[in-house]
Homo-oligomer: A and B are copies of this chain.
Amino acid sequence: MIKTGIIGATGYAGQELMRLLIQHPDCEVEVISSRTYKDTNYNQVYGNYMGITSDKLVDIEIDEISKKVDVLFIALPHGIASNKISAEILQKTKVIDLGADYRLNDLSVYEKWYGVSHGSPQLINEAVYGLCELKRKEIKKADLIANPGCYTTCSILSLMPLVKNNIIDKNSIIVDAKSGVTGAGRALNLGTHFTECNDSIKAYKIASHRHTPEIEQELSIAGDSNITISFTPHLIPMNRGILITAYASLDKKYTYKDIKEVYEGCYKDEQFIRLLPEGVFPETKWVKGSNYCDINFQIDERTNRIIVLGAIDNLIKGAAGQAVQNMNIIFGLEENKGLEMIPSFPI
């Protein structure tokens, strides 16, 4: 049994991780940590755990936790993990960081977009960007995983085949993204007060969301060129799910079939990527509760643009599920262990 720990176990991503790890056949949860809820029974923080666990949350040093676990998941706001993790910690345990601190390869880009200085810049090169479908080999050997963001996972998986295969004008990419409210976390905020976001929609952080450079970095690598995108996130009155609608100019005329082959070339063996049949488009309801990323596209012949749609469950493929997938790869388990849930509907 793999011994696991979760730092930041009481946020929504931490909670989903807790659920997946308890249900995982090869894991046990040794330590759950939280500053705010220290010494509280987990099932008092999340009533769904009543009768399932009576474990208490602790607030102990990462150094101590790292001795007790084989893998440590960190689900904290940006800027904290980089001050906790060190080479010493990584000698004792694998670390899968669900936060942003090690996702960006370029320190200056990190510090510009996040507005904080990085606590352990020497580890940035150690970290592997844990988008499993793209980095499987590197993940296998990694000690430190930078688990990708929710918008980024969905955007990169949806667009990668196009940039990798030079099908689009790489400077024409626009990603219009829509997220459920769990994406904003459990911290109280007027914008996520029920009566302020129910039955309404808004864009936020227009042209300034921090997932932008992360998407650009990975698409640039895949496309072997400098890619700059426009990215606009929106808040949707629903609990879970991300849908991205991406636009790009095709470099010449293509048929649906042409481009479908490109996607199949990239993803035909990927069990968590579902390329939908022609004319059937991703909807967040069909991926909720699962680790799937659904993808399809439409060619807009009048403008010669391609419109790509991708959908994930933001807390699973966009956070906790992908973290488990990373763990499975690192520990040599089957990649879908503990992740075979059929999406729930209607839920």
Contact = CB atoms under 8 A, between A and B. Distances in A.
Contact of A12 (B19, B195, B232, B292): B195
Nearest to A340: B23
Contacts of A202: 243, 281-285
Interface string A184-228: 001011101111111111111011000000000000000000001
Interface string A138-161: 000000000000000000000000
A310 to B, nearest CB: 11
A346 interface: yes
A237 interface: yes
Interface string A223-242: 00000111010101111110
A196 B237 contact: no
Interface stretch (A48-56, A71-79, A127-135): A48-56
A157 to B, nearest CB: 15
A36 B281 CA distance: 23
Given A48-B345, A207-B300, A298-B207, A176 B245 contact: yes
Interface residues of A, number: 85
B243 A203 contact: yes
Given A188-B193, A236-B237, A49 B303 contact: no
Interface string A1-41: 00000000000100100010011000000000000000000
Nearest to A197: B194
Contacts of A52: 342
Given A280-B47, A347-B344, A201 B23 contact: no
A247 interface: yes
Contacts of A121: none
Given A281-B202, A300-B207, A345-B15, A239 B176 contact: no
A266 interface: no
A189 B188 contact: yes
Interface string A159-181: 00000000000010010101011
Interface string A103-121: 0000000000000000000
Interface of A: 12, 15, 19, 22-23, 46-52, 171, 174, 176, 178, 180-182, 186, 188-190, 192-204, 206-207, 228-230, 232, 234, 236-241, 243, 245, 247, 271, 274, 276, 280-290, 292, 294, 298-303, 305, 307, 309, 340-347
